[in-house]
Amino acid sequence: MTKRLKLWTFLATFVFAASTSQELPMQGPARERVEQFKKIRMMEVMKLDEETSLRFFARYNKHHEAMKEITLRRDGLIDQLAALRKSDGLDSEYEKVFKELQNTESQIVAERSRFLQDLKGVVSTRQVAEYIVFERNFNRQLMQLMREMAQERGRGRMGAPFR
């Protein structure tokens, strides 16, 4: 068994364990393990030495926390929209939330841009590119793995439509 296959098996095991025990598969210890695995793979793909990886992950962790805060605000605004739908809110109430949501989306773009610019002081342009491609591919593969596992458990069908 190759090293890569072992790592993906390791990841699949933790995602499966988390998804069978909790409603949201990426919470708690499983999320932490996936993040640790992701960081190890990122170091390998980007070919980071020890000193550079420390500087890179200091920035990465700061960015990750900032994105988490912004995403929580965005999710709260979407929850407000859902509540307005149920209460038959006024157009002016919707507009206020829309404006805040638009601002939050702008903050997400600005934070990503700031982070990528900040990385240029730590890693090479090629390594920034490696990071961007890795991030996209990792997230795609993780989502695909989770879909496949859900289908194997017989829960891959769409029950109720999105509301």
List b or e across 107-133, with b for residues whose CB sees 16 or more CB atoms inside 10 angstroms: beeeeeeebeeebeebbeeebbebbee
Which ranges of the chain have pLDDT less than 50?
5-24, 156
Confidence (pLDDT) at 24 = 36
Confidence (pLDDT) at 160 = 53
Confidence (pLDDT) at 69 = 96
Distance from C-alpha of 53 to C-alpha of 58, rounded to nearest angstrom: 8
pTM: 0.72
Confidence (pLDDT) at 122 = 95
